[in-house]
Amino acid sequence: MESKSWKESYTELERLVLPPDTNIFNALYGGRLVEWIDNVAGIVATRHSRRRNVTGSIDSLFFLVPIHLGDIVTITGKLNYVTRSTMEIEVNVTTEEGLTGTRRVATKSFLTYVAVDQDGKPTDVPGLKIETEEDKRIFEEAEIRSKNRLALLAKIKADLKKQDTY
């Protein structure tokens, strides 16, 4: 399978925050934002792999500033790292005040998606082309996160096995 550049799957989504998206403080629901983030990451994973994909994990997600009714939210998804069946996707969210144009970073998160076959079993995806020094730096940083993530996953599974619940 031929490797692909991150540019082939880069995805950007813009949403105007409307009343059904907000809580009683006229701010965007966190859960709604997580849905949009997962959606963008899912598009990146599909464009890269051209396979069915499932969300494997969402790393810690910090909500840095509130997003208000009438704001314009921009969500970008970029592929950072690929192993055999797994893709790390970085999703950044900025919020823009409709009336002033002031933009602020609202969240940054890393999601992993696993490509699966018809039976839901992990399956191979194309590798990621490393074309620049910046691509290399991003790949190496993601590799460290991946190792930490898999160590945490292994610990969670081992603990659950001890309790006989996995």
Ligand X SMILES: CC(=O)SCCNC(=O)CCNC(=O)[C@H](O)C(C)(C)COP(=O)(O)OP(=O)(O)OC[C@H]1O[C@@H](n2cnc3c(N)ncnc32)[C@H](O)[C@@H]1OP(=O)(O)O
Interface residues toward ligand X, by CB under 6 A: 42, 54-57, 83-86, 112, 114, 116, 120, 122, 150, 153
Cβ at position 81, least distance to ligand X in Å: 10
Question: Which residue minimizes CB distance to ligand X?
Answer: 56
Which residue number, 41 or 73, has a Cβ lying nearer to ligand X?
Answer: 41
Compute φ and ψ for 20, nearest 5 degrees.
-65, -15
Cβ at position 150, least distance to ligand X in Å: 5
Cβ at position 25, least distance to ligand X in Å: 28
Which residue number, 22 or 91, has a Cβ lying nearer to ligand X?
Answer: 91
Residue 19: is it exposed, middle or buried by C-beta count within 10 angstroms (0-12/13-18/19+)?
A: exposed
| Type of residue found at 56 | G
Q: Residue 155: helix, strand or coil by DSSP?
A: helix
Cβ at position 85, least distance to ligand X in Å: 4
d(Cα 82, Cα 44) in Å, to the nearest integer? 12
H-run or E-run covering 161: helix 133-162
Which residue number, 26 or 117, has a Cβ lying nearer to ligand X?
Answer: 117
Distance between the two ends of the chain, CA-based, in angstroms?
34
Which residue number, 22 or 43, has a Cβ lying nearer to ligand X?
Answer: 43
d(Cα 166, Cα 161) in Å, to the nearest integer? 5
Cβ at position 120, least distance to ligand X in Å: 6
Which residue number, 103 or 155, has a Cβ lying nearer to ligand X?
Answer: 155
